[in-house]
Amino acid sequence: EVVELLKKSADRQDAIDKLTERFLLSEKQAVAILEMRLQRLTGLEVEKINEELEQKRAEIREFKRILGSEDAVKEIIVQELTEIKERYSTPRRSELSYDYSEINIADLIDKEDIVVSMTHGGYIKRLPVAEYRSQRRGGMGVTAHKAKEDDFVEHIFVSNTHQDLMFFTNLGKAFTMKGYEIPEASKTSRGRAIINLLQLVPGEKVQTVLPLPEEREGRYLVLATRDGLIKKTPLSEFASIKRNGKIAIKFAEGDELIEAVLTSGEDQLIMASSEGYSIRFRESDIRPTGRTAMGVKSMRLPEGAHMVALAVVHDGCELLTITTHGYGKRSSVDDYPLQGRAGKGVKAGVFNEKTGALAGLKVIPADTDIMMITDGGIIIRVQADEISKLGRATQGVRIMKLKGDSAKVVSIALTPHEEEEPEETPAETEGEAPAAEGAAPSETETPAEE
């Protein structure tokens, strides 16, 4: 009947009107019949439609039964949750704990090896150690720090982002920072001024930077002042340092800290004075004292002299001595006899009107350059291996030619060696070295007076 009705309809709308009128259907139901394929309107589909109708009626009866019974609802909920558990449950991976601990910022930062460098002018930065790729012997190296022409890298060492770094100033204060607190910068960047990181007062400057070991039991800090005091303090005394620093040593007005070194308690130390005397003694000669103590006498100083150097030494190492008039030499530490603390010491070379006074003494490792700066701000860089190795009681060779009779070397520092184009300069008379970067053949050794 439906098929006949559709065949006699003039158009779609006419078919919809006839279906709704004949079978009392809604417009949507009539449209649904029009969209059926012809085979579904034949008797072949009647049985299937009747089965579907009966199924829907059965579902309706079941849903009504469930909605009418609270127990049936709960039974279905339990069944569905059980199926979810069996399908998706896995052992707990987290651990529930009622213990509370404060989160430290270091816990959120990866432990990474870094290279820390700081210039004479007080600029500091860090780089990942991977930035310094391995090179073959004789390679040209890479730039480590972009310093101004009147500045140079004075401290450089390998550390990590979690390691404590200790800074000592000329006023005898100690500051600490974690490696990650030092700003990261590129190889060509100057870095950041240290005064923006440490609470320094006017006239205060960093003299020494020490990376601290994780194991600090039995380790000591040895500090030396310009007026000849020396003090040994257990490293444990510096366990907690606030942002404004902590007093590391007390001294009289006019004195200042010149150096700080980390020791094992069984090391040997060497110190040198501006008058040219040096003294090598055992660290055990210094009794450990508290952090605020003033220290004891390191060596006898004549009137007008002051200390210029402190270093940890071991048998067989090499020492470098530089004078205020630009003379210097390398010599073996074995040339410096082991003595008791507070003695007069021995001459570290020949010092006269020509050479000037002793400006500094350093232990020099391999592949090191020497940076020398004058009171006029002139800097020269010399490869340590090019400086003649002579006996302790000798004058040395000229390393730097100074401009003017009043100019003098006021500071020396060690920095990693960098290859540079050699400058050709005529050799000087008196068997001295050329007055440019590089050292000269050794001069005639002049014995020093003990």
pLDDT digits (tens, 9 = 90+) for 254-311: 999 999 999 999 999 999 999 999 999 999 999 999 988 889 999 999 888 999 999 9
Residue 405 has pLDDT above 50, yes or no: yes
Q: pLDDT digits over 185-208, tens only? A: 887 788 899 999 999 999 999 999
Identify the pLDDT of residue 420. Answer: 56
Q: Tens of pLDDT along 68-118?
A: 999 999 999 999 999 998 888 888 788 777 776 677 787 788 888 888 888
Residue 433: the pLDDT is 42
- Residue 88's pLDDT is what? 85
Nearest-angstrom CA–CA distance, 420 and 436 = 13
Q: What pLDDT sits at residue 146?
A: 56
Residue indicated by tokens 């870094």: 114
pLDDT at residue 182 above 90?
Answer: yes
If one counts every other C-beta atom within 10 angstroms of the C-beta of residue 196, the result is 11
Per residue in 23-54, pLDDT tens? 888 888 888 888 776 655 565 566 777 888 89
% of the chain exceeding 70 in pLDDT: 85
In the predicted model, is pLDDT for residue 248 greater than 50?
yes
Does residue 436 surpass a pLDDT of 60? no
- pLDDT attached to residue 35: 79
Structure confidence at residue 194 (pLDDT): 93
Neighbours of 401 (CB within 10 A): 16
**Does the pLDDT of residue 422 top 70, yes or no?**
no
pTM exceeds 0.75 for this model: no
pLDDT band at 139 (very low <50, low <70, confident <90, very high): very low
Structure tokens at 34: 């029009």
pLDDT at 24: 86
Convert the pLDDT of each residue in 118-137 to its tens digit: 888 889 999 887 775 544 43
Q: What is the mean pLDDT of the chain?
A: 84
Classify each residue of 27-53 as buried b or exposed e, where b means 16 or more C-beta atoms within 10 Å of its C-beta. eeebeebeeeeeeeeeeeeeeeeeeee
Q: Report pLDDT for 352.
A: 92
Q: What is the structure's pLDDT at 140?
A: 43
Contact in structure between 413 and 320 (CB atoms under 8 Å)? no
Residue 175's φ and ψ, nearest 5 degrees, are -125, 155
Cα 394–Cα 395–Cα 399 angle in degrees, nearest 5:
130
With 90 as the cut, is the pLDDT of residue 437 above it?
no
- Domain 105-206: give its CATH architecture: 6 Propeller (2.120)
**Which among 237, 217, 109, 215 is positioned nearest to 162, based on CA atoms?**
109
344 contacts 305 by C-beta, under 8 angstroms: no
Residue 432 has pLDDT above 60, yes or no: no
Mean pLDDT, range 163-179, rounded to an integer: 94
The answer to whether residue 230 scores a pLDDT higher than 90 is yes
Q: pLDDT at residue 447 above 90?
A: no
pLDDT at 342 over 60: yes
Span(s) in the chain for CATH 2.120.10.90? 105-206
| The pLDDT value given to residue 38 | 63
| Greater model confidence, 168 or 371 | 168
Check if the beta carbon of residue 196 is closer than 8 Å to that of residue 243.
no
Give residue 431's pLDDT.
39
**What pLDDT was estimated at residue 16?**
87
Q: What is the pLDDT of residue 39?
A: 57
Phi and psi at residue 314, to the nearest 5°: -145, 160
**In the predicted model, is pLDDT for residue 226 greater than 60?**
yes
167: tokens are 């800074």
